[in-house]
Structure 1
């Protein structure tokens, strides 16, 4: 299916980008967590004190700390300790999920969190091979599809049709640019930048579609494995080509086994089920 450019974007892009800033007013505690986590003098106690004002968000932070991924198995019994266990980047990631209503699956595209947890866990598992920290890669994977959620919220029927017709991520991003004037991945980068995430979290999003950029390689491979995990109709792209030879097909099965083992537990921690 070939994407046909429209004479104007299907959504008001300026309004959509401006709306990213207004989300903070609708979720003040989550916005405060994001802001506090960015400060140089932030501490686990400070973040825990802010989180305590939002029972649901605090509960999800506790649940994530005790999830299989972090391996605490119920030993994280205080909010301050949970913040220490998962780290400030993960706390900020959880707050961003709340800020953008990604914890409401009824408002998201089909298989959104199945795909996102697959991307995140694949990125985390492969991070050392690509010179990245597993927890940072996990957070990047969890937030990589923020732009998908924002475009879907602005144009639900249109985005569902687009996603159904363009299953490979690269082709979908081309169709997104034709329809909206921006790809979901670029929109994710803009949103994270506006919320004060460091360049190390933003730059890989911009580099995914540049095959010559090493900065986007880990996320490029993670998108492929996330699709293999979540989409039974996905046509695999050779990972040797995507990874520049850093991952071979014979290494994929072990990563996907790990993704399948932890994906549902991670999803439940993120959305609060």
Structure 2
């Protein structure tokens, strides 16, 4: 599915780039072949009949993945520090979607990638914490919302792999959030969360999760992640040109709550960093 843009000018004087989404997804499949346990977990957690014991048995075949799930389950973020002593219990604590998201990070090579966009994991952890904190306001569980934030930047990593110098320039000259989505769309034909949605659809994630990412730039179902991007930008970029939370969230998160929300998210970021081995 090649995406070709009209004209030759592009955004901010940059030339446009034909991004072939099918080729990007084929490369992901090549990476997936190198992580068979992660691939099995992603495939199996689609199956509603799969239980925690079955998923835990698969995890046990990949020590690194199992350790991450155990560490997360025992983290301050989930409030069970030191009390989770088995993989089946850990899977139950963090939830199938979280296990699947951790496996997807490994499947896409993000945990071992030598070159990622500037600040990739800093942004991803803040987005995960922000989505988790905001989730209940959007009728999402904290764990499921966290997964949206954790995976949202996958598309940014894929754009960076396809166009390293161009994407580095784009990141350096745009604000995180709406301005960057617009620049990505001008250059590649879609935004990074929308490219993430294509990848997750390819791996048969739930339609609700795919839609939530596909609609980040402006659709109703993208309001949670869109609001999380705005709060993340405020935390990471002091000069960020703010957009009101009321409009971004479809009035689920009033602007008057911004300071309180950010304080809580900062605390969650610290817990998640430690749990994911990023501190």
Instruction: With the length of structure 2 as denominator, give the TM-score of the two structures.
Output: 0.89
Partner residue of 2:68? 60
Q: CA deviation at 1:271?
A: 4.6
Distance 1:182 1:271, change over 3 A: farther
Distance 1:233 1:111, change over 3 A: farther
Alignment match, 1:110: 118
Corresponding residue to 1:217 among 201, 204, 223: 223
Contiguous gaps of at least 5 residues in structure 2: 1-9
Counterpart mapping for 1:142-153 below 5 A: 142-153=150-161
For residue 90 of structure 1, what is the aligned residue in structure 2?
98
Deviations 1:74-109 (A, max 9, x none): 111111111111010100001001111222364222
Correspondence for 1:191: 199
Indicate whether 1:6 and 2:12 are aligned.
no
C-alpha displacement at 1:205, in angstroms? Answer: 1.1
Q: Equivalents in 1 of 2:20, 2:222: separation in Å?
A: 28
Higher relative contact order (CA 8 A, sep 6+): 1
How far off its partner does 1:241 sit?
2.0
Deviation at 1:161, TM superposition (A): 0.7
Q: Is the 2:31–2:107 Cα contact (8 Å) retained in structure 1?
A: yes
Q: Partner residue of 2:5?
A: none
In the alignment, is residue 228 of structure 1 matched against residue 234 of structure 2?
A: yes
1:237 aligned partner? 243
Give deviations 1:52-90, integer Å, cap 9, x for gaps: 111111100011101121111111111111111101010
Q: 2:129 aligns with which of 102, 108, 121?
A: 121
Q: Distance in 1 between matches of 2:234 and 2:123?
A: 9
Say whether 1:41 aligns with 2:49. yes
Please state how far the C-alpha of 1:40 moved relative to its aligned partner: 2.5
C-alpha distance in 1, partners of 2:75/2:213?
26
CA contact (8 A) 1:62 1:79 kept: yes
Of the three residues 50, 56, 73, the one matched with 2:58 is: 50
Give the unaligned 5+ runs of structure 1: none
Mapped to 2, the partners of 1:249 and 1:112 lie a distance apart of 26
Query: CA contact under 8 A between 1:240 and 1:246: conserved in structure 2?
Result: yes
What number of residue pairs does the alignment pair up? Answer: 270
Which of the numbers 19, 27, 32 marks the counterpart of 2:35?
27
2:255 aligned residue = 249
Matched, 1:69 2:61: no
**How far off its partner does 1:267 sit?**
2.6
> Aligned-pair distance for 1:4?
4.0
- Cα 1:271–1:192 shift into 2, 3 Å: farther
1:131 is the counterpart of 2:132: no
Against the structure 1 CA distance between its residues 205 and 7, is the aligned structure 2 distance closer, same or farther, given a 3 Å change threshold?
closer
